[in-house]
Amino acid sequence: MVNIINRRTKRIFILRPDHLGDLVLFSAALKHIRHHWPDASITLCVRNFGLNLFEKCPHIDRLLDYAELCSSIAAQGRLAWMPAMRGCDRLGDFLRKTVPWLVRRRFACDLAILPLVSPMPEYHRVMEWIPAKKRVGIRGYHTTQTLVEDMESRLSYSEQMDASEIAWDFPELETTRKFLEFLGIKTISNEMRPEFWVEDADQAQAVRLIQRITGEAVVGIAPGVSSLPGKKLPPEWYVQAFEKSRGLISKLVFFGSEVDCMYCESILQAFADSGWPEKSLLNLSGRTTVRQTVECYKRCDIMVTQETAAVHMSTALRKRVVGIVGGGHYGRFYPWGDSQFSRVVKKAMDCYGCNWICKYDTVRCIQEIDPQVAGEEILFLLSKN
Claim to verify: residue 116 and residue 47 sit in the same structural domain: yes
Domain that holds residue 342: 201-383
- Alpha carbon distances (Å) from 60 to 29, 40, 57, 179, 190: 11, 9, 6, 19, 22
Claim to verify: residue 303 and residue 371 sit in the same structural domain: yes
Listed residues 191, 226, 256: the one ending a domain: 191
Assess contact for 342 and 315: CB atoms under 8 A: yes
Q: How far apart are the first and last CA of the chain?
A: 45
Claim to verify: residue 186 and residue 302 sit in the same structural domain: no
- Alpha carbon distances (Å) from 108 to 58, 96, 101, 105, 136: 22, 19, 10, 5, 15
Q: Residue 102 — very low, low, confident or very high, per pLDDT cuts 50/70/90? A: low
Whether 4 is in a domain gets the answer no
Claim to verify: residue 176 and residue 32 sit in the same structural domain: yes
Claim to verify: residue 138 and residue 205 sit in the same structural domain: no
Whether 315 is in a domain gets the answer yes
Does residue 60 register a pLDDT over 90? yes
- Alpha carbon distances (Å) from 42 to 16, 25, 251, 281: 13, 19, 42, 43
Claim to verify: residue 279 and residue 169 sit in the same structural domain: no
d(CA 71, CA 38): 30
Whether 162 is in a domain gets the answer yes
Report the pLDDT value the prediction gives residue 204, as an integer from 0 to 100: 98
Claim to verify: residue 268 and residue 361 sit in the same structural domain: yes
Q: Residue 230 — very low, low, confident or very high, per pLDDT cuts 50/70/90? A: confident
Report the pLDDT value the prediction gives residue 189, as an integer from 0 to 100: 73
d(CA 151, CA 280): 55
Whether 105 is in a domain gets the answer yes
Whether 316 is in a domain gets the answer yes
> What angle in degrees, to the nearest 10, is found between the helix axes of 66-80 and 121-129?
70
Whether 346 is in a domain gets the answer yes
Claim to verify: residue 137 and residue 183 sit in the same structural domain: yes
Percent of the chain with pLDDT over 70: 90
Claim to verify: residue 186 and residue 207 sit in the same structural domain: no
Assess contact for 121 and 149: CB atoms under 8 A: yes
3-state SS, residue 63: strand
Claim to verify: residue 237 and residue 341 sit in the same structural domain: yes
Report the pLDDT value the prediction gives residue 261, as an integer from 0 to 100: 94
Cα 265 from chain centroid (whole Å):
24
H helix runs in 290-355, sequence order: 290-298, 308-316
Q: Residue 384 — very low, low, confident or very high, per pLDDT cuts 50/70/90? A: confident
Claim to verify: residue 367 and residue 289 sit in the same structural domain: yes
- Residue 335, preceding peptide bond in cis (omega within 30° of 0): yes
Long-range own/partner contacts, residues 335-341 (CB < 8 A, 24 or more apart):
336/171, 336/173, 340/384, 341/381, 341/384
As a whole number, the mean pLDDT across the chain is 90
Q: Residue 301 — very low, low, confident or very high, per pLDDT cuts 50/70/90? A: very high
Does residue 105 register a pLDDT over 80? no
Report the pLDDT value the prediction gives residue 85, as an integer from 0 to 100: 45
Whether 350 is in a domain gets the answer yes
Whether 5 is in a domain gets the answer no
What CATH number does residue 376 fall under? 3.40.50.2000
Report the pLDDT value the prediction gives residue 71, as an integer from 0 to 100: 87
Residue type, 278: E
Listed residues 132, 158, 191: the one ending a domain: 191
Claim to verify: residue 74 and residue 151 sit in the same structural domain: yes
Listed residues 128, 161, 191: the one ending a domain: 191
Q: How many CA within 13 A on the CB side of residue 21?
A: 21
The b/e string for 302-323 (b: 16+ C-beta within 10 A; e otherwise) is bbbbbbbbbbbbbbbbebbbbb
Number of domains the chain contains: 2
Which of 308 and 86 is assigned the larger pLDDT?
A: 308
SS3 for 5-30 is CCCCCCEEEEEECCCHHHHHHHCCHH
